[in-house]
Amino acid sequence: MSAPYHVDLDSIVASLPKDMPLPPLLRAFAGFVAESAHGTLGWFDALQGEPIDENLVGDDDATQLMRERLGLFLKLPDGSQLALWRYDEAPVDAPAVVLLESEGQHKTLALTLEAFLLAWSNGKTGVSDLDDDEAGARRQALGEWLVARGVEGPPGKAPKPKLPSLSAWLKATLKAATAARAKAAKGKGARPRRVKPTLGTPTAASVADLVPRALPLLERLITDPDVNALFAELGFDVLGINKPDVLRNLVLPELGLEFELDWPWGGRSERLEAAYPRAVRPELERDRARMFKTLQVAAAGYRSWNNGTGGYVTFEAYPGTLPDGVLLTDDREALIAKLGAPSRTMDTALYWETTTRRLLASFSDGKVLPKDTIERLVWIVI
């Protein structure tokens, strides 16, 4: 027999907006799911919650507004999620059920949780993973469970209710966040600042020893005065940029530099996940206190895709000094002589690792730069 579905009710409660109570029916349904073998109510990974992903619309201010109205409660195999949505006309205790698709096609599934669970018991949610006939052994039991709790569909063939548009609301919320920023900037006597992928205007003097100065600041938050000052020196207002993709891909191509600023818990580091538990994350997100996590130095001609710019970036060589006497012109033997034996060796890369850091030396495959020459050095918090 298959193991039961994973159920984490506490995470659902934590994911709901502060003024949205957990529906008693959802609490009871969590118990029903916990007693069901995986694959008997459809294909889904877990009944659990988490904060609305910042990449839903790619705007920090809009994400905060959305989290005041949306709460996730179910995760599907492809990364899509179901959420409770308090739309404009919704009663406080009767949010709609919506689908946030991993591919970006979002829609309203049902006007209430009751209506959604009834549709689920009939295999008619509109979500193929839940409606799959091969994974519906417990659907009839779900229908009986609902009836026992007084949850039944309207008699006869009642007309389908008009469902509010989730996609329209997402667009309107993003527009409202953008307008609020423009109004705030105008109130301060400043023009709304346009986010550009490359904002830096550092002096040659500030770049000469930039990498040795920056490396000790890795793993510190951008609210730290020293970290903030470093990026201000390079021309980046890192607390003012509201685009997550830009912050994860800050580039100075003419100086061969790229930086990653991300949430401490973003990625796959169990160490950082434990150091920044869920309880502390909302405050850090409100303060936009991301972590300085990666510093990349590129060789001249290195080219890579950049999500922040939405295109390929070609780098010039970093003109400053590197620690331990390392040069971008070093070969493998020279790097090993300077840094010691690598922790891991691959065909096109060498890795040096500690418990908190990784240095990646990436070598060209010959398609862009001369074969086996250094194309980039990347210091990464792990």
Convert the pLDDT of each residue in 326-345 to its tens digit: 999 999 999 999 999 999 99
192, pLDDT greater than 60: no
Compute how many other C-beta atoms are within 10 angstroms of the C-beta atom of residue 362: 19
Residues 258, 296 contacting (CB under 8 angstroms): yes
Tell me the pLDDT band of 1, cut-offs 50, 70 and 90.
Answer: low
19-37 mean pLDDT: 96
pLDDT band at 195 (very low <50, low <70, confident <90, very high): very low
- Average pLDDT score, the chain: 91
Average pLDDT of 276-281?
A: 90
Mean pLDDT, to the nearest integer, of 132-149? 94
pLDDT band at 193 (very low <50, low <70, confident <90, very high): very low
Dist. CA 7–CA 32, nearest whole Å: 10
- The Cα 254–Cα 263 span in angstroms is 27
**Residue 268 banded pLDDT, cuts 50, 70, 90:** confident
Q: How far from 264 is each of 56, 161, 267, CA to CA, in Å?
A: 19, 43, 8
For the entire predicted model, the pTM comes to: 0.77
pLDDT of 261 higher than 80? yes
Is the predicted pLDDT of residue 87 greater than 50, yes or no? Answer: yes
The dihedral formed by the CA atoms of 179, 180, 183 and 185, expressed in degrees to the nearest 10? -110
